[in-house]
Amino acid sequence: ARLANQIAAGEVVERPSSVVKELVENSLDAGATTIKIDIEKGGAKRIRISDNGSGIVKDELTLALSRHATSKIKDLNDLEGICSLGFRGEALASISSVARLTLTSKPAEQESAWQAIAEGRDMAVALQPAAHPNGTTIDVVDLFFNTPARRKFLRTEKTEFTHIEEVIKRIALARFDVSFILSHNQKVIKHFKSVNNKSLYAKRVAQICGQKFIEHSLEIDCQHGDLQLSGWVGLPSFARNQNDLSFSYVNGRMMRDKLINHAIRQAYSNLLPADTYPAFVLFLVLDVREVDVNVHPAKHEVRFHQGRYIHDFIYSVCHNALSENAN
């Protein structure tokens, strides 16, 4: 069992930041409103995620650690309209095959917490009582301790932590309603407090992308039929020399999608000097049945059923805003 999971882990667990992404997405799927991310030594030593979400009942702890166990889809038809971030049931099994993983959880309706540890070649799960408030903590220690080839690929502590910070920023931009506290080696590095008022969204964007970006960008909010595009596009004068400020989301899921990026780049076409890139934070919302998110295991890409139509919508909204305000 461990070997099969380690093979699958190659797809899901590339480096510490991919572990962080999977675990934080699980916390979001569980409805958490506060998520603590504690990192030690760039994640190689420890990645611990604590949330106040719905938790996992004692009888399902073992299942949660097994491959292809997901509580999020009941049958294949559900794949058509996935709303939750995870759905493959691979992350926990994969991570526990390449690290020492402890899962502690307490659903509100359960009197006390229980802890599960997967151990040994057969990944047998040991259960024991534990102390934990409502919610879940997943503690991942010694990542890649048993796959030395992959451990060798880890970069410096600083580089790995920078990747983790990037993941948290990307997620924090998608979920203004959730608090994120990111610590490295016992020190709080980022604290994004939840904001429930739309007029305060810009504050979190400034915290993540810089005050300058907010000052030099246009706020967009446009609806066309079932499509909605909102967010901020940087004025051409602010466009960066490197591609470090491009955040796009489809139904709350972060993306690096060719079609979206192309539409935005085209919207800037004549406005940007050569070798500069657009800066943007954009949220596209559409009917979940209009997108297929099952394209890539890491889920950074989507397939739109009406690609051309979506492309032109993004293009025209951004282009109109930019050309009205070009300077």
Give the binding site for Mg ion (CB under 5 A). Answer: 26, 86, 91
* Nearer of residues 60 and 219 to ligand ADP, judged by Cβ: 60
Residue 260 contact among ligand ADP, Mg ion, none, beta carbon within 5 to 8 Å by kind = none
At closest approach, how far in Å is the CB of 92 from ligand ADP? 4
Angstrom distance (rounded) from CA 282 to CA 264:
10
Residue 87 contact among ligand ADP, Mg ion, none, beta carbon within 5 to 8 Å by kind = ligand ADP
Task: Report phi then psi at 282, rounded to 5.
Answer: -130, 140
* Nearer of residues 26 and 251 to Mg ion, judged by Cβ: 26
* Nearer of residues 250 and 264 to ligand ADP, judged by Cβ: 250
Burial of 74 (0-12, 13-18, 19+ CB in 10 A): exposed
Angstrom distance (rounded) from CA 184 to CA 156:
14
Residue 50 contact among ligand ADP, Mg ion, none, beta carbon within 5 to 8 Å by kind = none
In 61-210, alpha helices (H): 61-64, 91-97, 148-152, 157-174, 201-209
The total of other beta-carbon atoms located within 10 Å of residue 92's CB is 28
At closest approach, how far in Å is the CB of 183 from ligand ADP? 18
At closest approach, how far in Å is the CB of 138 from ligand ADP? 6
Interacting residue ranges for ligand ADP, rule: CB under 6 A: 22, 26-27, 30, 51, 53-56, 64, 69-72, 86-93, 136
At closest approach, how far in Å is the CB of 21 from Mg ion? 9
At closest approach, how far in Å is the CB of 97 from ligand ADP? 11
Residue 144 near residue 152 (C-beta atoms within 8 A): no
Strand ranges, E, within 45-99: 46-51
Angstrom distance (rounded) from CA 170 to CA 173:
5
At closest approach, how far in Å is the CB of 275 from ligand ADP? 40
Residue 53 contact among Mg ion, ligand ADP, none, beta carbon within 5 to 8 Å by kind = ligand ADP
Residue 169 contact among ligand ADP, Mg ion, none, beta carbon within 5 to 8 Å by kind = none
* Nearer of residues 56 and 167 to ligand ADP, judged by Cβ: 56
Please choose, from the candidates 23, 27, 294, the residue with its C-alpha nearest in 3D space to the C-alpha of residue 175: 27
Four-CA torsion 217, 168, 196, 252, nearest 10 degrees: 80
* Nearer of residues 95 and 267 to Mg ion, judged by Cβ: 95
Residue 104 contact among Mg ion, ligand ADP, none, beta carbon within 5 to 8 Å by kind = none
Beta-bridge mates of residue 100: 141
* Nearer of residues 70 and 230 to ligand ADP, judged by Cβ: 70
* Nearer of residues 91 and 140 to Mg ion, judged by Cβ: 91
Beta-bridge mates of residue 139: 48, 102
